[in-house]
Chains A and B, each alone.
Chain A
Amino acid sequence: MIRPILRLGLALALAFGGVALMAGYWAVVRQADLLERADNPRRLLLERRFPRGTIYDRAGAVLAESRGAPGDYTRYYPYPALAPVLGYVSPQYGTAGVEAAADEALHGDENGEAWTRWWRDALGLPRTGRAVQLTLDLNLQQLADAALGDRAGAVVLLEAETGEILALATHPTFDPNTLDENWESLVADAGAPLLNRATFALYQPGGALQPALLGAALQARLADLDTVYEVEGALALEAGLTLACRQAPNLSALTLQEALRLGCPGPFAELGQRLGALRLEQLFTDLRLLEAPDIGLPTAAAAPDFSDPAALAAGQGSLTITPLHLALVTAALTQRGELPAPILLRAVAGPAGEWQPVPATDHGVAVFAPETAETIKQLLRLGHSAEALSGRAGRRLAWFTGFAPLDDTRFVVTVMLEDGDSAAVRQIGQALLVEAVLTAP
C-alpha cells in the first residue's frame, strides 16, 4: 500500500499548492482591480474612521470637508451648487467629479511600500487624507451660479495665460449632501442635473467658432477682412432648418468683418468651402477641439467627419464642442495665438501640510501667428455672440465668449444657455468679466 499512499500524498500536495497559488492570484495579481470594484465598501468604511482630505478653492475657502468624530465622519459640501464639478463620494453610487479625480490624494493613499502601509495600519497610526486645492475662485463661482439661476446652461471663466479655471458653473445642479436619498429622482430627471455641461456636454457651436475660422482664413491668405460676400437670406441646413444672421444686415453684400459682427452664417459657410476639409481638420486639431481636455474631470470631444466643410464652418456640421473648448479657443486669440492647457487641480497638500503644485499634464501650443491673433482680438473687443441650432428640432442655443481687459488680457469667459437667450449670455459674461477684473489681486 506504499505506492497508493505516496501518490495520494503527491495529489494532495499539488492540490494544496494550487489553492495557495490561487490565493496569491486574488491577493496580489488581481488585488488592484478587485479593490476598485464599486461593491467593495472597505475604502469608504475607512473614511468613516479617518477624515478624507478637504477640497479648497484657490483662496482657501472650503468646498468639501469631512465632518464628525472618528468612526463617524461624513462628507459635507458647504456650497452644493458646485456638485457637478466636485462630485460626490457615496458608498452606494461610487465617486465622481473632483472627488474621483483626486481620490488617491483625498483618501490618503501613499506610494509607500505595502509593508510600511501595513505597519501604519497595524499600529493604528492615523492615515490622513491630503487636502486638495482647486483653481476655482469661490467668489466668481458664486456669481456665475447666481447668474445662471434656474436656466440650463454653463459658464467657464479662465485665466487666459495659464489656463487656470476660475469658475465652472453648470445648471441645473444638485445637492451632493443628500445624494443617497435623492439618487433615483436625480437619475430620472430629464434636466440631467448630474451632467457637467461645461466639460462633458457636447453642443453645436453655430457661429461661436467664427473668429477662429476667420483667423485660419487670414493666415492661409484665402481672404482678408474686407473680402465681400453675398448674403442671400438664411442658410439652409439639414432637416429643413434654416439659420439666419443673428442681426439682420442692411445690405445684401457684407465684408467678413461685418459678417462676424452680425453673426451671418452664409459667408462663413462659403469660407469653409474655400478652406476645404483638410485645412478645417488641421484648424480643429490645432485648436484641440477633437480631443477631450485633460483636467481630471470627465471631459468630452467630438469625432466629426469632414465631408461637408460648409456645414462645419457654419458650426452646424458634425463638430460639437463643450463650453470649455470655446473658452480655450478665445484664450488663444487673446494670448498671441497661444492655446493654453486648462488646469483645475492646482495643488495637493504634502505630508507637512505645505502645498505641492500639481505638475502640469499638458502644455500650451501655438495655433495662430501673433499678428493674426491680434487682428481677430481687435474685432472681438466687445466679445463674440453666436447662435446655434441644436438637434432635429432646431432648438436654439446662445453662446457668448469674451475677454478682459483689452490690453494684457487676463480673463476669458464663455457662457452657453440652452434656452437661446442671446441678451442674457452677453450680460452674464460681461458681468463676470467686470467682477473678475475688479476683484483681481
Chain B
Amino acid sequence: MRAWLLSGAARERFLLGLAGGFVLLAAAALALAPFARADVWDPAVAAWPWGLALTDLGFWAYPVLWLLCATGTQRLVARRLPNHDPYLLPIVFALTGWGLALIWRLAPGFGLRQTAWLVIATGALLAVALLPRDLRWLRRFRYTWLAAGLLLAALTFFIGVNPQGFGPDLWLGAFGVFLQPTEVLKLLLVIFLAAYLADRREQLFPRAGAAPAAPLNPFQRLPYFLPLLTVWGFSMLIVLAQRDLGMGTLYFAAFLVMLYLASGQAAYVAAGGVLLALSGVVGYTLFDVVRIRVDAWLNPWADASGGSFQIVQSLLAFAAGGLFGRGPGLGAPSLVPVAHSDFIFAALAEEWGLAGTLAALGLLAALVFRGLHIALRAHGAFHQLLAAGLAALLGLQALLIAGGVIRVVPLTGVTLPFLSYGGSSLVVSFVIVGLLLKLSADDGPRPL
C-alpha cells in the first residue's frame, strides 16, 4: 500500500524491484527445472534435457545483464526526464525478462543472442529518450525518415536473407547480425502519419480540428490525401510483395487507427474493415498462403496434422497449461513449432498457465493504456497522434499474434512485443518505449 503514496520515481523503483524479483525467481526456477524433471538432487543431472548446461555462464549472464539494463535505464531516465511516466519501464522490463526466460528455455541457442539484443535495445531506448532536443527533428524530416525506411525495406528484394536459411527473405544481414527492415518501417510509418496528419488535419478533415476560414470541398481535399495514400501504398506493397501477411495487416490497421484518431470519424475504420475483409476474400481465392491460414482458422480440426498442425498444437499447449501451468521448464512447449518466436504465447500458457497468460496480457494492455494516457496529456496534435499511434501499434501487434495463436483471428506471423525472440522487434519496441517516455516527460506548452 505504501507504494501508492510514493513519488513517481520511488514508485517506479518499487515496481522495478518487483519485476526484478520476478525475473530472478524465473531464472532460478529454470535452473532448478532439470532436477525436478529428473527427480534427483544430483549435480550430474545438471544438464537441461533440452540441451544446455546449468553451468553455462551465458545463461547466468541474462539475469545479470537484465538487472544492469533495468537499473541503468531507470537511473538515467529518472535523472534526465524527472516527470516521465513511472509505469512504462517496470512493465517493459518485466515482460522482457520473462521473454528472456522463455527463450532460454525454448531455444537456448538463441538465448545469448537475445540477451545481447536487450543491451542494444536498451541503448536505443536511452538514445531516444535522453536526446537533449525535443521531438521536432522527427517531425521536420518525416519524408527523409520514411524514404530511408522504404529504401531499407526495398533492399530485401535484392540482398534479402533469412537467418534460418529457408523461408522468406525478410532480413538484411551483415556479420551475423540480422535486421528486419519492415519492423523499422512500421515505426517510421506511424511517425510519418502522425507528423503529416498533424500538419494537414484541417485540410484533410475540415470538421475535425478548428475550422479554417473556408472549408475545402472534397475535390480540393484530394491532393492532401495523395502523399498519405502514396506512402501507405508503398509500405503495403513492400510487405505484401514479401508475402508478410502479419506486417501487412499491422500496417493496414495502424493506418486506419491514425486516420481515425486524426479525423474522429469511425467511417474510416468501417470502410477499412470492409476493405480488409474484401482483400481477405480475394486473397483466399488467389493465394495459397492466405487460404491455408484462413482454413486453419475456420476449421483447425479438419487437417490437424497438416495445414492446421501449428494452431492445434498451440491450443493443446493452452489446455496442457490449465490454470497454473506445468511450471517453468517442466512442460513440453517445444511440441509447438517455432515456439520461441511466433508461438511464444502458447509456450507461456503451457508452463505458466492461464494465470501467466492473463498476467502477460495484463502487462501488455497496461502498457498500451499508459501510452494512451500519455497521448491524452500530450501537448499538440503531433505529440498526441504519435503517443496514441505508438501505443496502438504495440497493442495491435500483441492482439494480432496472441489472437492468432488462440484462434480468435487467422494466424499471421508477427512477434509478441517484448516476449518473442527477435532483435529488430525488440529494438523497435524499445525505441517506441523511449519515445513514449520522452512524450510523457514533456510538459512544456508547445507552439502549434
Q: Give A contacts to B, CB under 8 Å.
A: 1-9, 12-13, 15-16, 18-20, 22-24, 26-28, 30-31, 34-35, 37, 39-42, 45, 49, 70-71, 114-115, 118, 121-126
Contact = CB atoms under 8 A, between A and B. Distances in A.
Contacts of A49: 37, 39
Contacts of A20: 357-358, 361
Given A16-B368, A27-B318, A30-B319, 10 more contacts: A8-B260, A9-B372, A12-B365, A15-B395, A27-B349, A34-B318, A37-B316, A45-B332, A118-B326, A123-B36
Quick one: which of B315, B349, B406 has the most chain A CB within 10 A?
Answer: B406
Given A9-B369, A22-B406, A27 B316 contact: no
23 contacts: A2-B376, A5-B261, A5-B376, A7-B266, A8-B257, A8-B388, A12-B368, A12-B392, A12-B395, A13-B369, A16-B361, A16-B399, A18-B408, A24-B358, A26-B319, A27-B319, A27-B353, A41-B332, A42-B320, A118-B327, A124-B35, A124-B330, A126-B39
Contacts of B326: 118, 121
Contact of B39 (A19, A42, A70, A122): A70
Interface of B: 35-39, 49, 257, 260-264, 266, 304-305, 312-313, 315-316, 318-327, 330-332, 335, 349, 353-354, 357-358, 361, 364-365, 368-369, 372, 375-376, 381, 384-385, 388, 392, 395-396, 399, 402-403, 406-408
Q: Is the interface of B mostly helix, strand, loop or mixed?
A: helix
A8 B325 CA distance: 32
A19 B408 contact: yes
Contact of A15 (B36, B38, B320, B399): B399
A33 to B, nearest CB: 8
Q: Which 6 A-B pairs have the closest CB atoms?
A: A124-B36, A34-B319, A122-B327, A26-B318, A16-B365, A118-B324
Contacts of B349: 23, 27
A4 B261 contact: yes
Given A5-B376, A19-B361, A115 B315 contact: no
B319 A1 contact: no
Quick one: which of A2, A12, A122, A126 has the most chain B CB within 10 A?
Answer: A12
A366 B68 CA distance: 81
Contact of A71 (B38, B318, B332, B384): B38
Contacts of B372: 5, 8-9, 12
Contacts of A23: 318, 349, 354, 357-358, 361, 402, 406
Contacts of B365: 12-13, 16
A27 B357 contact: yes
B406 A19 contact: yes
B354 A27 contact: yes
B78 to A, nearest CB: 27
Nearest to A118: B324
Contact of B354 (A15, A24, A123): A24
Contacts of B38: 70-71, 124
B76 to A, nearest CB: 29
B402 A19 contact: yes
A121 B385 CA distance: 48
Contacts of B384: 1, 5
A4 B319 contact: no
Nearest to B330: A121
A115 B323 CA distance: 9
A70 B399 CA distance: 40
Given A4-B260, A12-B399, A22 B368 contact: no
A169 B325 CA distance: 44
A24 B369 CA distance: 22
A157 to B, nearest CB: 42
A45 B260 CA distance: 50
Contact of B321 (A13, A19, A27): A27
A4 to B, nearest CB: 5
B406 A31 contact: no
A231 B214 CA distance: 115
Given A24-B354, A27-B357, A1 B261 contact: yes
Contacts of A15: 395, 399, 403
B399 A28 contact: no
B358 A39 contact: no
A31 B322 contact: yes
A6 B373 CA distance: 9
Contacts of A70: 38-39
B364 to A, nearest CB: 7
Contacts of B36: 121-124
Contacts of B266: 7
Contacts of A125: 39
Contacts of B364: 16
B216 to A, nearest CB: 20
A6 B319 CA distance: 35
Contacts of B381: 1
Nearest to B381: A1
Contact of A35 (B263, B304, B319): B319
A9 B370 CA distance: 10
Contacts of B262: 1
B365 to A, nearest CB: 4
Contacts of A41: 332, 335
Contacts of A24: 354, 358
A27 B305 CA distance: 21
A37 B319 CA distance: 11
Quick one: which of B35, B322, B385 has the most chain A CB within 10 A?
Answer: B322
A34 B349 CA distance: 14
Contacts of B395: 12, 15-16
A15 B331 CA distance: 28
B400 to A, nearest CB: 10
